[in-house]
Chains A and B, each alone.
Chain A
Amino acid sequence: MAAAAALVTATAAGTSAAVVRLQRVAKTYRSGALEVPALRGISLEIPSHRFSVVVGASGSGKTTLLNIIGCIDAPSSGAIEVCGADIAALSDDAVSDFRARNIGFIFQTFSLVPVLSAYENVEYPLLLVGMPQAERRRRTLAMLEAVGLAGQARQRPNELSGGQRQRVAIARALVKEPQVVLADEPTANLDSATGASIIELMRRVQVQSRTTFIFATHDPQLMSHADETFVIRDGQLVEHHAGAAR
């Protein structure tokens, strides 16, 4: 990485079209009179069908960046386009519908609905897009099979291990076949062996489904799998490594 934190405008390498475009995106949090800048005018393009990683120290702004890309937070200024849609132009309900169709989330703390079984958690996003029951069932079972949890379909999250919960979360994120899957520190709460298997699983699924994965992480294991690496420091994009698509 460059020692000097020269500002970088990252553009996708290769022939893949950009699934995410940010132009001078800034985000400032306000706490009373205090203003805390989290992002300072980031511009980047993230190519589709890639395993992209946003890295940076704690507080560098990578989670804020992921939240904005995931349309669960709005930038203070700048423009954002995800899957070809100008997010700023959409109403709150339209953004919710957009997320339901196009974006999958994998959270650090798994964030499964505790009163639903593994099967029901995976099925949940399909209910939101109004998929018919037979198709829902087929996809849910296939996804649970893909993450190796076909035998735990009826178990509730509190009956599963951390690794199993994260597998359910991955299945939930992928079952609707979104264009983008966002994962914020997905291995942070897992031991290294389980983390490695989860990374392996995500990588395999990404290759099979050709879904765009975007991670925020400082897990070296995860970084080593990256096709694209975006380095964030103090709310600015300071480095971008582009690799070949697999």
Chain B
Amino acid sequence: MKLLLKIAFRNMLRNLRRSLMTGSAVAAGALALLLFGGFAAYIFAGLETNNVQRIGHLTVFRADYFLLGAGNPAAYGIDRHQEVMQLIERDPVVGPMINVITPTQSLVGIAGNFSGGVEASKTFLGTGLIPSNRERMRQWDEFRASAGYVPDKRMSDEDPSRGVIGVGLARVLGLCAPLGLHGCPALPAARPSGRSAPAARQELTDLAARDLAPDTQASDRTPQIDLLAATAGGAPNVVQLSVGGAEPQGVKELDDNFIAMPLGLAQQLVYGRGEHKATGIVLQLHRSEDLPAARARLTGLFRQHHLDLEVRDFGELSPFYGQVVKMFSSIFLFIALVMGVIVLFAVINTMTMNVMERTNEVGTIRALGVRRVGIRAQFTVEGVLIGAIGATVGAALALAIAALVNQAGLTWVPPGNATAVPLRLDVAGRALLVVSAWLGLAIVTTLAALLPANRAARLPVVDALRHV
């Protein structure tokens, strides 16, 4: 082997220009694969972090809620959800994996703003949550892909009526000025368009005035909106929400409909004086790699206790994540294929020229007693050596470029995000990616070298010796 490597290395230097060209093709392949792979890895980590911070790793629903519950969340509330949460927390397998476990209540309804001369209403998609748990979830950053945790004080456990709405909804409800939103136009002056709409608004206002306790109607500096929804029993119900702020949601449809409110308020709206249930129990794990084990354990646990519950992960709840992963994976595969083909032909070309130039040498060493397999090994080692050096140089360049980019402080807005995040190329932290790309190119160069090496090994000795 030492002799093989010695001869291979010296032959590589003997045809230095050719070896450099081939090695450069391999290095370019490694560079492209690793930079894109590092970028894709960062995208995946960023998206996963964003999702896990928002909706956790797993959510427990009542059976069929995932498929059928969107139209009437109130009908799919989990009975005695606190007991279910205790069951999960106390489980010796799942319990230690959990970072945050928190109930949520989804709801739909109509939001109205009839204060300060504004008369605006809009359907909304609401989520009831526990603000302190939400803050703890926002701090999850296993992959260090978050833009950094900034405490959000617009909602707190101490204020059970304060929530946050989407910027789009704030705009539609005429809350731009009260919330101090920039680039958010005020509503045009209301134009009378018949009698039915003002009448409906008056009914909503009257309903709110009747249902709300006198102390909640006290004047406050924060703008108030009225939320109307049907209870689980089908009766209309109204609560008043103090709008602590507005935040963009990335997707316009959601931005125009989004309301986050304290869990108690959401439950009051949906269940009135009945049992306050929850539509979901969100689990945020310490580590994403525990997700399959936690999910399997929960499924078993619910079956064991005859609970009519199901478990969904964030990928199912946010199909966008899976779509982005698939898209970037497809692009990565495409780049890998293109690079693989380029490297394959570059190495085949180089090794074919080497074999042709050294046919007489092949005949000589065969005459000296080298077996066919020895000739095959000689040329294969040469190809692999060029590939390995090229891939190593490419990997080193990729690491250097990634470090430069990461230090440059570039930012970008990922798909589905509302705010810019740092642009990073996660190459250094992806040992598997680096090793896979290196090995992949090494395998391609080996295969590419095998073809001409086989041809050299099959040459009859006398024909090789006669070759000029």
- Interface on A for B, CB 8 Å cutoff? 67, 70, 72-73, 92-93, 96-101, 103, 105, 107, 109, 111-116, 120, 124-125, 127-129, 172
A116 contacts which chain B residues (CB < 8 A)? Answer: 6-7, 10
Instruction: For A73, give the chain B residue with the smallest CB separation.
Output: B462
Of the candidates B3, B365, B371, B461, the one whose C-beta lies within 8 Å of that of A73 is B461
Give complex CA distance A47, B368 in Å. Answer: 22
Q: Let me know if B461 and A124 touch, CB within 8 A.
A: no
Of the candidates B7, B361, B367, B460, the one whose C-beta lies within 8 Å of that of A70 is B367
Instruction: For A105, give the chain B residue with the smallest CB separation.
Output: B367
Q: How far is the CB of A87 from chain B (nearest CB, A)?
A: 13
Q: Let me know if A96 and B369 touch, CB within 8 A.
A: yes
A-B contact pairs, 30 of them (CB 8 A): A70-B367, A72-B461, A72-B462, A72-B465, A93-B371, A93-B372, A96-B366, A96-B369, A97-B369, A99-B367, A100-B368, A100-B369, A101-B369, A107-B465, A111-B361, A111-B363, A111-B364, A112-B364, A113-B364, A114-B361, A116-B6, A116-B7, A120-B6, A124-B368, A125-B369, A127-B3, A128-B368, A128-B370, A129-B369, A172-B368
Query: Does B360 count as interface, using CB distance less than 8 angstroms?
Result: yes
Query: Does B417 count as interface, using CB distance less than 8 angstroms?
Result: no
Give complex CA distance A96, B372 in Å. Answer: 9
Q: Let me know if B370 and A96 touch, CB within 8 A.
A: yes
Give complex CA distance A127, B364 in Å. Answer: 15
Give complex CA distance A93, B461 in Å. Answer: 13
Q: Let me know if B465 and A115 touch, CB within 8 A.
A: no
Of the candidates B11, B368, B372, B462, the one whose C-beta lies within 8 Å of that of A67 is B462
Q: How far is the CB of B369 from chain A (nearest CB, A)?
A: 2
B369 contacts which chain A residues (CB < 8 A)? Answer: 96-101, 103, 125, 128-129
User: Which residues 10-28 of B have a CB within 8 angstroms of A?
Assistant: 10-11, 14
B367 contacts which chain A residues (CB < 8 A)? Answer: 70, 72, 99, 105
A101 contacts which chain B residues (CB < 8 A)? Answer: 369
Of the candidates A92, A107, A115, the one whose C-beta lies within 8 Å of that of B364 is A107
Give complex CA distance A101, B369 in Å. Answer: 8
Instruction: For A97, give the chain B residue with the smallest CB separation.
Output: B369
Q: Mark B349-364, 1 if CB is under 8 A from A, else 0.
A: 0000000000011011
Of the candidates A70, A98, A109, A113, the one whose C-beta lies within 8 Å of that of B365 is A113
A-B CB pair tally, cutoff 8 Å: 70
Q: Let me know if B372 and A92 touch, CB within 8 A.
A: yes
User: Which residues 361-418 of B have a CB within 8 angstroms of A?
Assistant: 361, 363-373
Contacts A96-B366, A128-B368 supplied; 6 other A-B pairs, CB < 8 Å: A70-B367, A93-B371, A93-B372, A97-B371, A99-B368, A101-B369
Q: Let me know if A111 and B360 touch, CB within 8 A.
A: yes
Sorted nearest first, the 4 A-B pairs with minimum C-beta distance are: A100-B369, A115-B10, A72-B461, A111-B364
Give complex CA distance A11, B197 in Å. Answer: 126
Q: How far is the CB of A19 from chain B (nearest CB, A)?
A: 18
Q: Let me know if A115 and B7 touch, CB within 8 A.
A: yes
Q: Let me know if A113 and B361 touch, CB within 8 A.
A: yes
B366 contacts which chain A residues (CB < 8 A)? Answer: 72, 96
Give complex CA distance A73, B460 in Å. Answer: 8
Give complex CA distance A124, B370 in Å. Answer: 10
Q: Let me know if B14 and A115 touch, CB within 8 A.
A: yes
User: Which residues 319-375 of B have a CB within 8 angstroms of A?
Assistant: 360-361, 363-373
Of the candidates B3, B14, B368, the one whose C-beta lies within 8 Å of that of A105 is B368
B3 contacts which chain A residues (CB < 8 A)? Answer: 124, 127
Q: Let me know if A96 and B7 touch, CB within 8 A.
A: no
Instruction: For B371, give the chain A residue with the smallest CB separation.
Output: A96
B372 contacts which chain A residues (CB < 8 A)? Answer: 92-93, 96
A107 contacts which chain B residues (CB < 8 A)? Answer: 364, 465
Q: Let me know if A125 and B10 touch, CB within 8 A.
A: no
Instruction: For A70, give the chain B residue with the smallest CB separation.
Output: B367
Give complex CA distance A75, B461 in Å. Answer: 14
Give complex CA distance A65, B386 in Å. Answer: 41
User: Which residues 217-241 of B have a CB within 8 angstroms of A?
Assistant: none
Q: How far is the CB of A207 from chain B (nearest CB, A)?
A: 24
Give complex CA distance A125, B11 in Å. Answer: 19
Q: How far is the CB of A110 from chain B (nearest CB, A)?
A: 9
Instruction: For A93, give the chain B residue with the smallest CB separation.
Output: B371
Q: How far is the CB of B459 from chain A (nearest CB, A)?
A: 11
A125 contacts which chain B residues (CB < 8 A)? Answer: 368-369
Give complex CA distance A201, B10 in Å. Answer: 31
Q: Mark B435-468, 1 if CB is under 8 A from A, else 0.
A: 0000000000000000000000000111001000
Give complex CA distance A70, B461 in Å. Answer: 11
Give complex CA distance A127, B371 in Å. Answer: 13
Q: Let me know if A113 and B7 touch, CB within 8 A.
A: yes
Give complex CA distance A100, B370 in Å. Answer: 7
> In the complex, which of the residues B11, B367, B462, B465 has the most CB atoms of chain A within 10 Å of its own CB atom?
B367
Instruction: For B463, give the chain A residue with the smallest CB separation.
Output: A73
Give complex CA distance A80, B60 in Å. Answer: 84
> In the complex, which of the residues B11, B366, B368 has the most CB atoms of chain A within 10 Å of its own CB atom?
B368
Give complex CA distance A133, B304 in Å. Answer: 71
A115 contacts which chain B residues (CB < 8 A)? Answer: 7, 10-11, 14
A109 contacts which chain B residues (CB < 8 A)? Answer: 360
